[in-house]
Amino acid sequence: MAVPGRRRALSPRALPAALGLLVALAIWAVAASRWPPHVLPGPLVVLETIVTQRSELVGHALRTTRRVLLGYGAAVVIGLPLAMALGARPVLDRQVGALLTLLRSIPPFAWTPLILLWVGVGDGSAAAVVFAGAFFPIVRNARAGIDAVPPSLVLAARNLGAGPRVYWLDVVLPGAAPMVFTGLRLGWALAWMSVVAAELVGADGGLGQLILDARNLARPDLAIAGMVAIGALAAGSERGFALVERRVLRWRA
């Protein structure tokens, strides 16, 4: 209930987190000192690469981010209404449900060769793989969220005179929101994994390509720099997700 105090609670938590990070860096540095730099470069070498190659890194990161946003956006725009339609129409739910279960058991990366064949190398194919990764967790969790709305609230809404519009927008949507967010977050994480997988197989630029090229050039420092960039982007944006989620779902606190 003491909402203002919550922000301050962050700093005592940040300390152990920073400590853990430091220890990991130290272990990395020690390990790197025992291997030649063309096998395992140390943190400082990687940092230097990040600084000197920053414009190249940013360029690749932008391409990757664009593909993620394209594929993920499509997954949200198609996935959420589909979940609502499935929740509203039991017959449709049974018809499509089994198909979805089958499709979502296929790892998104397994789509890559087919998609490359159909779409060709480019932003479109990478975005399509992202879509395949993000779509299923989004639909599945949103669908489950609709069922998780307590029956007494559904009853109360109808009893108080809610028509279909109010029922869906003001009762089902907020009631399902916690699980919808779970799906959105899972889908987001999978989107980043999928995009790198797609770029590793074939793409015009992007962080996945950068990592692959680094291998071909025998530049492990550049590969690690690319990995750091992906990790930072995915983790950083996930953080933003958590902030939005806490805001939208503040009634749960």
Residues that bind another protein (CB under 8 A): 1, 150, 152-153, 155-163, 166, 170-171, 174-175, 177, 249-253
- HSE, CB side, 13 Å, CA atoms: give it for residue 58: 5
Residue closer to another protein, measured from CB, 22 or 153: 153
Residue closer to another protein, measured from CB, 47 or 249: 249
The DSSP output letter for 109 is G
Q: In the complex, what is the shortest distance from the CB of residue 103 to another protein, in angstroms, rounded to a whole number?
A: 32
Residue closer to another protein, measured from CB, 16 or 151: 151
Q: In the complex, what is the shortest distance from the CB of residue 244 to another protein, in angstroms, rounded to a whole number?
A: 15
State the Cα–Cα distance between residues 50 and 54, nearest whole angstrom: 5
State the Cα–Cα distance between residues 172 and 147, nearest whole angstrom: 9
Structure tokens at 36: 């030649």
Q: In the complex, what is the shortest distance from the CB of residue 9 to another protein, in angstroms, rounded to a whole number?
A: 18
Residue closer to another protein, measured from CB, 147 or 170: 170
Contacts of 195 (CB under 8 A, 6+ apart): 64, 67, 68, 71, 126, 129, 130, 206, 208
Helices (H), the chain: 4-8, 10-34, 43-52, 54-88, 90-104, 112-119, 123-147, 151-159, 164-166, 173-201, 207-216, 220-248
Residue closer to another protein, measured from CB, 173 or 228: 173
State the Cα–Cα distance between residues 242 and 212, nearest whole angstrom: 31
Q: In the complex, what is the shortest distance from the CB of residue 181 to another protein, in angstroms, rounded to a whole number?
A: 13
Q: In the complex, what is the shortest distance from the CB of residue 167 to another protein, in angstroms, rounded to a whole number?
A: 8
